[in-house]
Amino acid sequence: MDVIPLVHASLGKRELAAVEEVFASDWPAGQGPRGKALERELAERFGIGEAVALSSCAAALHLGLLALGAGPGDEVIVADYTFPAPAHAVRHVDAEPVFADARADTGTVDPQAVADLIGPRTVGVIAVDTVGLPADYAELRSIADRHGLFLIEDAACAVGATYRGRPAGALAPVACLSFHGRKGITSGEGGALLTTDPALAADVRLRSSFGIGGIVEQSRVIGLPIPEFTETGYNYKLSDIAAAILQVQLGRIEELLDRRRAVAARYAELLKDEELLTLPHVPPDRTHAWQSYMVTLAPGVDRAGVAADLRARGIGCGHGTWASHLQPVYETKQTCPVSADLFQRNLAIPMHAELTPDQVERVADVLRDALRDHARPRAS
């Protein structure tokens, strides 16, 4: 049986050759020459002043909040319908996450929900480009500016997407990227912080390396400079091995995104008349990076049964993403009804750049059969 995985990284000989070059160098660790080169390339590609290569998007969120001064007693409004890394990061700085509900059509954070949650302790907002679709940044930036709040773009899933002609990752004064194995470009693990503020970037870079800054530059100074620890920092550096892989992947963004777009377009064509699901909605002012392809099942369809049928026939699938406010770690009395509904009815089907047309058709055929088998009969 041909197994069709939910996700698959597009890594090959060019990436291996880049890794071999690092092996032959004298610096495979973090903040080395390949990492510095990657930062320059990221800043240029996204048209933003500063980029800091980091070990993950979660690290970027954490350090970004620290650099922005969020801390105990503060509230940060976070998008609810997402992997809960933004809320975790808020907790890491001893602030309190406040969950904003999603738009029903896109799954991205609802700007009106954000506006309604602003209170005297609110210091900022973390928006999320949900599974690759940018949020409504014109409205979000207006709200943040009007209330004197910081705005962070969590673009973990959205490398290659656009909003009103601008790239995801450059839609807020601070943005965070992920290069995890299921993203559009990947080094297995990794992330970056992008910002328009050089001082904020310097703060993040210092904290990412134990609070002593870049060691590679100091190692090349004649004499014996002894670094001083000026912050209680973290080990959030991205290795030069990962940076070298990402330099290759950056050059392949359009190639890989074109393949994902073709898969999404074919799914839309094959499933457009299926009454038991709703296809992803992309507003006309933005484009999708298609990290994931999530369909929304009709009420009454047994999602677990559909998933079991797909997996039994070798087709990967998943629940989509999380309604963060429902996770036990938060124990909140907040309600986000749209997010909670999407959490129950969304289904992620295979989406990656290596899918063949035959595989896409097979996924659609099996999905249609499973929907019929697991739909609750309508009352007559």
Active site residues: 183
Question: In angstroms, rounded to a whole number, what is the distance separating the alpha carbons of residues 78 and 350?
Answer: 28
Helix (H) or strand (E) holding 54: strand 50-54
Beta strands in 94-196 (DSSP E): 96-100, 122-128, 150-154, 162-163, 166-167, 174-178, 191-195
Question: In angstroms, rounded to a whole number, what is the distance separating the alpha carbons of residues 339 and 25?
Answer: 48
- Which token pair is 23? 């092996």
Identify any residues that bridge with 17 across adjacent strands, giving them in sequence order: none
Are the CB atoms for 96 and 90 separated by under 8 Å?
yes
**By three-state DSSP, how is residue 193 classified?**
strand
Question: In angstroms, rounded to a whole number, what is the distance separating the alpha carbons of residues 321 and 335?
Answer: 17
Question: In angstroms, rounded to a whole number, what is the distance separating the alpha carbons of residues 98 and 66?
Answer: 18
Question: In angstroms, rounded to a whole number, what is the distance separating the alpha carbons of residues 183 and 131?
Answer: 9
* Structural Rg of the chain based on CA atoms: 21
**Among candidate residues 144, 176, 151, the one with its CA nearest the CA of residue 60:** 176
Strands 174-178 and 191-195, how do they pair? antiparallel
